[in-house]
Amino acid sequence: MKVWWTIVFLSLAAWMWAQEATFYAEVDKNAVAKDGVIRLDIVIENGDMQSYEAPAFTDFDVLRTSQGQSTNITIRGNQQVMVRRITRSYLIRPRKTGQLTIEPAKVRIEGQLLETDPITVTVSGSGSNPSPSPSPNNLPKKNIFVRAFVNKTSAYVGEQVLLSYKLYTGQNIASYNEPTTTYAGFWKEDIAIKNPSVKREVINGIAYRTAIVKQVILFPQQSGTLDIPAADMTVDVEYNFFSTRRIELKTNALSLDIQPLPNNAPASFTGAVGDLSLTTTISGDSAAVDEPITLRMTLKGRTNFDLLGDPVLTLPNGFEVYDPKISANTSKSGGVLSGSKTYEYLIIPRQPGTYKLDPISVSYFDPKTEAYQTLNTPEYTFTITGSGAQGGGNVIGINKEDIELLGEDIRYIKTETDWTRGSGTILGTPLFWTLSAGPLAAWFILFLFVRWRDNREVDPLAQKQRKALAAAQKQLRLAEKARKEGDNKGFFDHIRLALWHYARDRFVIPQHELNKDTITAALQEQEVATSLIEQYHQVLDTCDMALYAPIGGSEAKDQLVADAKQVLQDIQTAAKA
Amino acid sequence: MKWLLTIGAIMALVVAVAQPNDLFEQGNTAYANEEWATAIEHYEAILDTDYRSASIHFNLANAYYQIGDLGQAILHYERAWQLDPTDEDIIFNKKLANLQIIDKVEPKEPTFIGAWWQSFLLTASTNVWAFTAVLFFFLTLGLGTVFLLVKHPFWRPFSFFGGLSTLVIALLLTFIAHQRYGVTYPGTPEAIIMAPNVYVKSAPKAGSTDLFILHEGLKVTVQEQEGDWLRIGVENDKQGWVKAADLAII
């Protein structure tokens, strides 16, 4: 048990001593009269001095030197810290007037050479040493002041800049009012400081207690040189135990160089400058019609969410979405505005199908890389089941008449039908071509025939020649007719005419030249066989004789007609032309 | 062996029943009893044969409409309309069904002359126009024959000018018949989107960019085929590629 406690104590002690060595010089005042005395303390904290070199004191006389050592326990934050302090004190007097410098002291601690800052002292020419006790009318205003500073002097439009006001005081402050000024051209976020943490700082040899009294996060809204005018501040300083004095202070003015954002902003850029990350979750990738799907999208990062436009969710037709539920939380810790913003979309599918949700894009400008960055949600695919509402929520662009129609039901089926088979149209079928082009073709053929026939009818002799046999056969039929009527003469006359006219027409012999010799000559010319020519004459002779010596039997008459037919037929075949 | 016989018996039965009129009556009865699926089965059985009629497509479309299959309903209303473009019931139901679709594509407004010409074309079916043309071709033949054969001082000029007129009329009627055919069967084929929704792509590839989205029941024109993909156009001149399986050609 004892051992355990010892270990705890030792480790605690070790931890507490683990402080960095500091080395500084401070004066009780840095403005004195010519014969005034200044107290200079050279302090080493938490260090083992290996060698020490005092300041040169070129312009000062050292009146007295002393050395002291102390160990203090101070509370820093919520920790107790032990500070071991070695102090060398010098009482010095300036040798001349004007701006004098106390040169640095040097020390070697743990092998490291440290130097104090040089201290400038103003020595005035007048002989009287100012009274060390302050009076109300002559308050030492010089050991209290406030400074404004920014964490960067150049920034992009929209990039956050931290502006801090630090109060330096050598006196006890009862209370103060925050510095106020105007911030034209900026969007600002104040950081409330409830308990300013007090630090010790040495400026030109004089130790001050310092505290950040106000911090503002600024978002430049326009490019160019933006000025922050000097801020006014009032401080109530403890004057004595009972009363305070109000002191008015003014900070320094600041000027920031603000650059415009590059022109190549993506379409999804809505003004975020800083850094962002995007996470999305979805309640499910399948749903029934009218069953809502929740899409939750969270943007997180260091930017001004108030200036950020909402990302655009584009949904395919057949979906409805309500305005998103937006929740945001921001933090200003560490002087940086950061936070997260969550959009919760309730998406209601109205039609079945498989739909893709286009990725939602959010862009921001990253001042570190000096480039736009784009974040995308994953591409979600939904499968919607069920059946859509009849004429549901998506009736856009239809007129009043159509809306009235929507209320109606479809008309009843037809109970009568007639059937077609195949393609149902005759256009382009062979039947149609036959029926339309056929008549035209038929007429054209008829036209050709008529023209051909007309050409032949131009020569009457040729016509007669062509019809010679038909005419002769007609005469023979007339002969048969005459025979039936008992006209014996007519019978033989018709046969004779048949033979005579046939020869006349067939061989184109003029009527006045028509006799047996010319016929014979014509037949010979046509290279008709002699026996056939004789047969022809024989039939003619029989007819001639019968006019005077009638041949009796009907058989003979039959024979005569048959012979006549035969001989004409044979001549028709035998003749060349 | 036994099952073969059974199938044979069923087949014989089907063949015996598969007279279009019987199926039509059975479909109508099923429809009247609100047995939509049965009605569809019967009507589709008719369409498996080569029998067609405006009524059968109309009734089938009605049955599909009743079960909420908008794509099939509109497809068959369109087919019914092709066969009988002047039937008021078909026009009415087709319009009603088209009100249910999600994509509203404004149809191109025809010009006054265009509308008049179309209604003139629709006064008769393609076949009526075609047969009238055939009649005039025969009239031309008749008058032409008179012209060739009869040399009468009145009939000859009458038949000449008459024949010429009937020929012009016949050719005009043939043209009209083709125009009339083009009203219901346009030169670029049309199709109906059958899937609940389709993403129209920029190229005939699965990974290509989505251009826009179309929903069931919309009528599109089919301009080109490339493998399984069809290049389609919507009335407002948008174009893109979709899978052929998501469409049905009217």
pLDDT tens readout for residues B21-33: 888 888 889 888 8
Burial class of residue A135 in the structure, from the number of CB atoms within 10 Å of its CB (0-12 exposed, 13-18 middle, 19+ buried): exposed
Which regions of A379-444 does DSSP assign to beta strands (E)? 380-385, 420-421
- In a mutational test of the B interface, the residue from A289, A355, A410, A450 whose CB has the highest number of chain B CBs within 10 Å is A410
Contact A436 B58 (CB under 8 A): no
Domain boundary among B38, B69, B99: B99
Chain B residues within 8 A of A439 when measuring between CB atoms = 137-138, 140-141
Q: What is the ipTM of this complex?
A: 0.73
**What is the percent of chain A with per-residue pLDDT over 90, rounded to a whole number?**
1
Classify residue B213: in a domain, yes or no.
yes
Asked if A513 contacts A465 with a C-beta cutoff of 8 angstroms, the reply is no
pLDDT tens readout for residues A277-330: 888 888 888 888 888 888 888 888 888 887 777 887 877 777 888 888 888 888
Show the domains of chain A with their CATH numbers.
Answer: 15-124 (2.60.40.740), 141-259 (2.60.40), 269-385 (2.60.40), 460-574 (1.20.120)
Domain boundary among B160, B184, B208: B184
Q: How confident is the model at residue A423 (pLDDT cuts 50, 70, 90)?
A: low
Out of B51, B59, B141, closest to residue A414 by CB: B59
B223 and B199 in a single domain? The answer is yes
B150 and B178 in a single domain? The answer is yes
B93 and B6 in a single domain? The answer is yes
B19 and B69 in a single domain? The answer is yes
Rounded to a whole number of angstroms, the distance from the CA of A267 to the nearest CA of chain B is 18
Chain B residues within 8 A of A420 when measuring between CB atoms = 51-53, 83
B81 and B131 in a single domain? The answer is no
Asked if B100 contacts B64 with a C-beta cutoff of 8 angstroms, the reply is no
* B-proximal residues of A, 351-390, CB under 8 Å: 351-356, 384, 387-388, 390
Chain B residues within 8 A of A446 when measuring between CB atoms = 144-145, 148
Classify residue B107: in a domain, yes or no.
no
- In a mutational test of the A interface, the residue from B79, B86, B92, B99 whose CB has the highest number of chain A CBs within 10 Å is B99
Rounded to a whole number of angstroms, the distance from the CA of A422 to the nearest CA of chain B is 6
Minimum CA–CA partner of B93 in chain A: A410
B241 and B201 in a single domain? The answer is yes
- The residue with tokens 């005009």 is B172
Contact B99 A391 (CB under 8 A): yes
- Residue A411 makes CB contacts below 8 A (sequence gap 6+) with B62, B89, B92, B93
Classify residue B106: in a domain, yes or no.
no
> What CATH number did the domain enclosing B68 receive?
1.25.40.10
- Residue B103 makes CB contacts below 8 A (sequence gap 6+) with A317, B214, B215, B218, B234
Residue B167 has pLDDT above 90, yes or no: yes
Out of A384, A410, A419, closest to residue B52 by CB: A419
State the count of interchain CB pairs (< 8 A) between A and B: 139
Out of A413, A419, A442, closest to residue B53 by CB: A419
Structural domain for B231, as ranges: 190-249
Q: How far from chain centre, in Å, is Cα A94?
A: 77
Classify residue B104: in a domain, yes or no.
no
B91 and B129 in a single domain? The answer is no
- In a mutational test of the A interface, the residue from B141, B208, B212, B218 whose CB has the highest number of chain A CBs within 10 Å is B141
Contact A435 B134 (CB under 8 A): yes
| pLDDT at residue B58, rounded to an integer | 92
Weakest-pLDDT range from A136-145, A449-458, A552-561: A136-145
Asked if A303 contacts A328 with a C-beta cutoff of 8 angstroms, the reply is no
> What CATH number did the domain enclosing B216 receive?
2.30.30.40
SS3 label, residue A516: helix
Contact B210 A356 (CB under 8 A): yes
Minimum CA–CA partner of A449 in chain B: B148
B92 and B8 in a single domain? The answer is yes
Chain A residues within 8 A of B197 when measuring between CB atoms = 316, 318, 351, 353-355
Chain B residues within 8 A of A286 when measuring between CB atoms = none
End-to-end CA distance of chain A: 160
**What is the percent of chain B with per-residue pLDDT over 70, rounded to a whole number?**
92
pLDDT tens readout for residues A500-544: 888 888 888 888 888 888 888 888 888 888 888 888 888 888 888
Helix H, strand E, coil C: the string for B84-136 is: CCCCHHHHHHHHHHHHCCCCCCCCCCCCHHHHHHHHHHCCCCHHHHHHHHHHH
**Cα angle A323-A325-A327, degrees, rounded to a multiple of 5:** 145
Residue A224 has pLDDT above 90, yes or no: no
Q: How far apart are CA A229 and CA B120, in angstroms?
A: 84
Minimum CA–CA partner of B197 in chain A: A353
Rounded to a whole number of angstroms, the distance from the CA of B129 to the nearest CA of chain A is 10
Rounded to a whole number of angstroms, the distance from the CA of B4 to the nearest CA of chain A is 32
B116 and B84 in a single domain? The answer is no
B139 and B170 in a single domain? The answer is yes
Minimum CA–CA partner of A355 in chain B: B197
Out of B96, B133, B149, closest to residue A408 by CB: B96
| pLDDT at residue B136, rounded to an integer | 93
* A-proximal residues of B, 14-73, CB under 8 Å: 20-21, 24, 28, 31, 50-56, 58-59, 62-63, 65, 68
Q: How many domains does chain B have?
A: 3
Mean pLDDT for chain A overall: 80
Q: How many CB atoms lie within 10 A of CB A492?
A: 23
B16 and B86 in a single domain? The answer is yes
Chain B residues within 8 A of A413 when measuring between CB atoms = 28, 31, 55, 58-59, 62-63
B144 touches chain A (CB under 8 A): yes
Q: How far apart are CA A457 and CA A272, in angstroms?
A: 106
Chain A residues within 8 A of B51 when measuring between CB atoms = 419-421
Chain A residues within 8 A of B83 when measuring between CB atoms = 420, 424
pLDDT tens readout for residues B169-198: 999 999 999 998 888 888 788 899 888 888
If we measure between CA atoms, which residue out of A301, A379, A285, A284 comes closest to residue A342?
A301
B90 and B14 in a single domain? The answer is yes
Name the more confident of A471 and A428.
Answer: A471
Contact B59 A317 (CB under 8 A): no
B127 touches chain A (CB under 8 A): yes
Q: How confident is the model at residue A18 (pLDDT cuts 50, 70, 90)?
A: very low
pLDDT tens readout for residues A79-132: 677 778 888 888 888 888 888 888 888 888 877 888 888 888 888 875 544 444
| pLDDT at residue B4, rounded to an integer | 62
Chain A residues within 8 A of B67 when measuring between CB atoms = none
B178 touches chain A (CB under 8 A): yes
- Residue A490 makes CB contacts below 8 A (sequence gap 6+) with A478, A479, A482
Asked if B199 contacts A356 with a C-beta cutoff of 8 angstroms, the reply is yes
Q: How far apart are CA A122 and CA A127, in angstroms?
A: 14
**What is the percent of chain A with per-residue pLDDT over 70, rounded to a whole number?**
87
| pLDDT at residue B173, rounded to an integer | 93
Domain boundary among B140, B157, B184: B184
Q: How many CB atoms lie within 10 A of CB B186?
A: 12
Chain B residues within 8 A of A391 when measuring between CB atoms = 99-100
Q: How far apart are CA B161 and CA B147, in angstroms?
A: 9
Rounded to a whole number of angstroms, the distance from the CA of A383 to the nearest CA of chain B is 11
Out of B52, B144, B215, closest to residue A443 by CB: B144
